[in-house]
Structure 1
Amino acid sequence: MNDETTELAAEGHRVWHVPDCFLPGTSVGDTPSHEAFCVLNVSGTEAQVGLTFYFADREPISTDVRVPARRNIHLRSDQAEMIGVALPADVPYACRIRSSVPVTVQYSRLDAQEGYELMTTSAIPVA
């Protein structure tokens, strides 16, 4: 490995929290309301990424995805085939993301219930 590859392998964190998630159940226009968990893997190793979704009134739901080496993915919460589980609409929840290698996570929400509102933030890295 060269110095840059070694440096990139250490960038990011293995555990991330997104405490304020919400999948709007309605939309206006052509673009559906949705969220995206964007995972960036700059390392030379494929990341095995586990997502656990926590709710106030029910047990957590867990799923696993892979992020190839030196790639990013956008996991849309409204597309069960993409994340491996169906998330309920109009129910607040939180997400814990854990990875086999350090990654960077960004969370975005497009709320298209009354027009379009976009919110994006970095997830919270957990040391």
Structure 2
Amino acid sequence: MKAYGKKVWVIAEGYIPEYGTGPEPEFTSHETACILNTSEEKAEVEITIFFSDRDPAGPYKVTVEPKRTKHLRFNELKDPEPVPKGTDYSSVLESSVPIIVQHTRLDSRQAENALLSTIAYSE
């Protein structure tokens, strides 16, 4: 199969709500990068998080196996530091092979949940 996508993706909008309602983990408020690797090689992805009031965090390192998808919750990124909740941020994903990235947020702070999803910007 052809390796679809680009090697650099940007998600300009990021925010993890500080709390949620409903059963865990299904209704934990979260940000997700849905990463698709259609290539024959592992995608070694480095993520850098940018903030309005401090230096960037990262790189966070993630592997997506060949011909696989990974739905990566930013809430679960811990090394080199957790992504803070209740803080605006942006992210840049750089991959060793072309990938496709879609951004999703579940905001479950109220009973009427909101789900947002967009395709990231690619370079």
Structures share fold, TM-score greater than 0.5:
yes
Q: Which residues in structure 2 correspond to 1:14-93 (within 5 Å)? A: 14-30=7-23, 31-62=27-58, 63-80=60-77, 85-93=81-89
Cα offset for 1:42? 0.1
Name the structure 2 match of 1:114: 110
Between Structure 1 and Structure 2, the one with more helix by share is: 1
Code of the aligned partner of 1:122: I
Structure 1 unaligned segments of length 5 or more: list them: none
Cα offset for 1:84? 6.2
TM-score (norm: length of structure 2) = 0.91
| Residue 95 of structure 1 pairs with residue 99 of structure 2 | no
1:110–1:118 CA contact under 8 A, matched in 2: yes
Structure 2 unaligned segments of length 5 or more: list them: none
Misfit runs of 4+, over 4 Å = none
Question: Per-residue displacement from partner, 1:77-104 (whole Å, max 9, x unpaired)?
Answer: 12235x7641100000000001000000
2:57–2:80 CA contact under 8 A, matched in 1: no
Backbone CA RMSD of aligned residues:
1.3
Mark the structure with the bigger radius of gyration: 1
Aligned residues: 118
Residue 54 of structure 1 aligns to a residue whose secondary structure is: strand
Distance verdict in 2 for CA 1:74–1:84, change over 3 Å: farther
